[in-house]
Amino acid sequence: MTQIGLTVEKPETFRGDAVARGVFDDTDLSRLGVPGLTDQAKKLRFKGGAGESFFAFDRFGSPSKHLLLVGLGKRSEYGPAAARAAAATAARRLRERFASTALFALEAEAAGRRAPVVLSALAEGTLLGNRRFQKYVTDKERRFEGLSGISLRVARKSAVLQEALGLGKVLADATGYARELATEPANVLTPEFMAEEARKLARRHGFELKVLDEKACAKLGMGAYLAVARGSHHPPRFIHLRYRPKGAKFHIAVVGKGLTFDSGGISIKPADGMGAMKSDMSGSAAVMGAMAAIGALKPKVAVDAVMAMCENMPGGGAYRPGDILTSMSGKTIEVLNTDAEGRLTLADALCYVQRQKPDAVVDLATLTGACVVALGPDFSGAMGNDQPLLDAVLAAAKESGDDLWQLPLPAAYRKYIKTDVADVANMSRIRWGGAITAGLFLSTFVDEGRPWVHLDIAGPALRDDDGGDAHRAEGSGVGVRTLVHLVLSKAGGPRKA
Ligand code: BES
Ligand code: MN
Ligand code: ZN
C-alpha cells in the first residue's frame, strides 16, 4: 500500500528519494535555488508545458537523490485535468529511478478557488500513475512496487485540503480496483469470480446483495441474457448490489455490461485483437469501482447496482443468428448477429433494475466498435432520453477527467432495427451509426418517462497507450469517477464543498 499525505515541507530540505517539482510555462527557474537549472532546461528545450518533464539532476546524495521537473502548462489553465496528468507523469518517471519515497510539489494552491479539486486530482494521478498490473509477472527484475510513500506539498494545510486528499484517495482506489477487474483475464475473471468480488464488497460496506443463477434468472424470464450465456461452460451470474442509506435524497440505478469475454459467439470475431474482449466487462468493473467508493463515502443517495455477468462463446448450446428471444420485458428480439450480445444482456438488466423504481438509470457498456470509430480511443459516447440527466452526467464526467461526448438518439433511426418477425432486431440493417442504433435498441427497454443515460465506453475501456493516469495494456477504470461525481452531485455536492 502506498502511503500518501500532505506536507508543508520544502523541496530543498526533503530527505526522501526524490522530489517532483511542478513548474508553469512562466515559472522563473532561477528562483528554485538549483544552480544551473535555467541553462539545463534551455538545453533540453524544457518550457514547462503540459506533458513535459526532465530529471534536473541525479545527485545520489542528500537531501534527495533525484529532482524531476514537471511541466504544468499555462498557469491560467491549471485545473484538475492538468494536475492529474502531471502527477501521473511524475509517478511514472520516478519508476525509472526506482524511487521509494517522494515529495510532490505540484502547486495545488496555484488553482486558487479550485485548489481542493486540483488536490484531489493530484492524489488520483499520483496513486494511479504509481500502480501497475504486474501480478502475473513472476520475474522479480521486472517487478517494481513503485513509490511507497508520497508527500503532497501544500503551502498551508487545511481541513478542506485534507478532505480533498481523502476524496482523491477513494477515487484512486476505486478506479484502480476497476482497472484490475478489467485487466484480469477471462480464464480468471469468470461470472462467479465477479459474484465473489461483489460478496466481498457487500460484506465490507454493508450492502445488500443478490446473486441470481440461471434458474433464478429463468424464473424471472430473462430470455435475452440467458441466451447469450448459453454457449459458455462458465455459468452466468446476475449480480444486484443495493445501497440504502438513511435520508436518501435521490435513487439511482447503475447497470454495467458484464461480458467476461466476448468471442462474438457463432458470429465469431476475427482472431486479431480478440484478446481485448477480456475487458468486455468494463462497464461492470466501473460499477464495482463506483460501489467501492460509495461504500467509503456513504453519500445520501440510494443506489441499485446491477451486472448481468456472462461469457459469449460459440459452444454447442450457443444461441444463433435467426433465433428469436423473449426478454424479461416480454418484448421479443430477433438475433441477427450473436456478436451484438451486450445489448441483449442489458435489455434484461434494464428491465430488472427498473422494477426498483429508480429516479434515474445510468448504464455503462463496451457496446460498439462504431462508438470507437466515431469518437476515437479516449471518448465515451453518451446517449439518453432526458437532457437534464445527460447534462448532469456530462458535468460529472468533466469534473472526473473522463472524456465524454453526447451522441443523438434520433427516433427516425428506429426503422433500422425493425424486423418483420419480432418486436426488435439486435442489429441495425445498415452499416452506419452503430453506436446510435445500439442506444436506440436499449431505449426500447427503458420505461416511458424514466430518465436514462447510456454510456458507450468501448473506446477508453482498455488502453493501448499510456495517457493521463492510465497505462497501456490495462483497463482504464473509465466511468468510475464519473459515476461517483454524479452520485455526489445528487447527494448535494461533494462533502468537501
Ligand atoms: N464488445 C463489442 C464492442 C467492442 C468493440 C468493445 C471494440 C470494445 C472494443 C460488442 O459486443 C460488439 O461486438 N459489437 C458489435 C456489434 C455489431 C455486431 C452490431 C460491433 O461493434 O461490431
Ligand atoms: Mn460482441
Ligand atoms: Zn461485447
Is the domain of 135 the same as that of 199?
Answer: no
Which residue has its alpha carbon closest to ligand 1 atom 7?
369
Residues with CB under 5 A from ligand 3 (ion): 259, 262, 280, 342
Is the domain of 144 the same as that of 219?
Answer: no
Smallest CA-to-CA distance from 99 within 8, 41, 15, 11 is with 15
Centre of ligand 3 to C-alpha 352, Å, is 20
**Catalytic residues, which ones?**
269, 343
Is the domain of 317 the same as that of 457?
Answer: yes
- Domains of the chain: total: 2
**Length in residues, the chain:** 497
Centre of ligand 3 to C-alpha 453, Å, is 19
* Ligand with minimal distance to 369 CA: 1
Name the residue of 263, 333, 367 to mutate for ligand 1: max ligand atoms within 8 A of Cβ: 367
Does residue 151 lie in a domain region? yes
What is the position in ligand 1's atom list of the atom closest to the CA of 342?
A: 11
What is the position in ligand 1's atom list of the atom closest to the CA of 337?
A: 18
Centre of ligand 3 to C-alpha 486, Å, is 25
Does residue 59 lie in a domain region? yes
The pLDDT value recorded for residue 18 is 94
Q: What is the pLDDT of residues 389-422, one digit of tens each?
A: 999 999 999 999 999 999 999 999 999 999 999 9
Does residue 369 lie in a domain region? yes
Is the domain of 150 the same as that of 188?
Answer: no
What is the position in ligand 1's atom list of the atom closest to the CA of 366?
A: 6
Question: The domain that contains 377 carries what CATH number?
Answer: 3.40.630.10
Give the C-alpha separation, 237 to 240, whole Å. Answer: 10
Q: Both ends of the chain: CA-CA distance in Å?
A: 28
Is the domain of 480 the same as that of 424?
Answer: yes
Is the domain of 72 the same as that of 190?
Answer: no
Residues 344, 217 contacting (CB under 8 angstroms) = no
* Ligand with minimal distance to 426 CA: 1
Centre of ligand 1 to C-alpha 332, Å, is 21
What is the position in ligand 1's atom list of the atom closest to the CA of 371?
A: 21
pTM confidence score: 0.97
- Nearby residues of 329 by Cβ (< 8 Å), 6 or more positions away: 347, 348, 351, 445
What is the position in ligand 1's atom list of the atom closest to the CA of 312?
A: 11
Please name every residue paired with 251 in a beta bridge, in sequence order, or none if there are none.
302
Domain of residue 8, residue span: 3-155
Give the C-alpha separation, 83 to 165, whole Å. Answer: 13
The pLDDT value recorded for residue 460 is 98
Which residue has its alpha carbon closest to ligand 1 atom 16?
340
Does residue 496 lie in a domain region? no
Does residue 497 lie in a domain region? no
What is the position in ligand 1's atom list of the atom closest to the CA of 341?
A: 11
Smallest CA-to-CA distance from 204 within 172, 252, 241, 254 is with 241
Q: Which residues line ligand 1 (CB under 6 A)?
A: 262, 280, 337, 339-342, 366-370, 372, 427, 434, 458
Centre of ligand 1 to C-alpha 145, Å, is 35
Task: Tell me, letter by letter, the H, E, C secondary structure of the chain.
Answer: CCEEEEECCCHHHCCCCEEEEEEECCCCHHHHCCCCHHHHHHHCCCCCCCCCEEEEEECCCCCCCEEEEEEEECHHHCCHHHHHHHHHHHHHHHHCCCCCEEEEECCHHHHHHHHHHHHHHHHHHHHHHHCCCCCCCCCHHHCCCCCCEEEEECCCCCHHHHHHHHHHHHHHHHHHHHHHHHHCCCCCCCHHHHHHHHHHHHHHHCCEEEEECHHHHHHCCCHHHHHHHCCCCCCCEEEEEEECCCCCCCEEEEEEEEEEEECCCCCCCCCCCHHHHHHCCHHHHHHHHHHHHHHHHCCCCEEEEEEEEEEECCCCCCCCCCCEEECCCCCEEECCCCCCCHHHHHHHHHHHHHCCCCCEEEEEECCCHHHHHHHCCCCEEEEECCHHHHHHHHHHHHHHCCCEEECCCCHHHHHHHCCCCCCEECCCCCCCCHHHHHHHHHHCCCCCCCCEEEEECCCCCECCCCECCECCCCECCCCHHHHHHHHHHHCCCCCCC
Centre of ligand 2 to C-alpha 342, Å, is 6
Centre of ligand 2 to C-alpha 321, Å, is 13
Boundary residue ending a domain (155, 189, 207) = 155
Is the domain of 254 the same as that of 113?
Answer: no
Q: What is the pLDDT of residues 352-368, one digit of tens each?
A: 999 999 999 999 999 99
Does residue 423 lie in a domain region? yes
Which residue has its alpha carbon closest to ligand 1 atom 3?
368
Is the domain of 187 the same as that of 134?
Answer: no
Name the residue of 268, 319, 339 to mutate for ligand 1: max ligand atoms within 8 A of Cβ: 339
Which residue has its alpha carbon closest to ligand 1 atom 14?
368
Is the domain of 378 the same as that of 474?
Answer: yes
Rounded-to-10 torsion of CA 295, 298, 303, 307: -10
The pLDDT value recorded for residue 496 is 40
Residues 98, 84 contacting (CB under 8 angstroms) = no
Does residue 495 lie in a domain region? no
Residues 382, 407 contacting (CB under 8 angstroms) = yes
Does residue 161 lie in a domain region? no
Question: The domain that contains 53 carries what CATH number?
Answer: 3.40.220.10
pLDDT below 50 — which residues of the chain? 496-497
Is the domain of 354 the same as that of 309?
Answer: yes
Which residue has its alpha carbon closest to ligand 1 atom 17?
340
Is the domain of 20 the same as that of 112?
Answer: yes
Is the domain of 313 the same as that of 395?
Answer: yes
* Ligand with minimal distance to 258 CA: 3
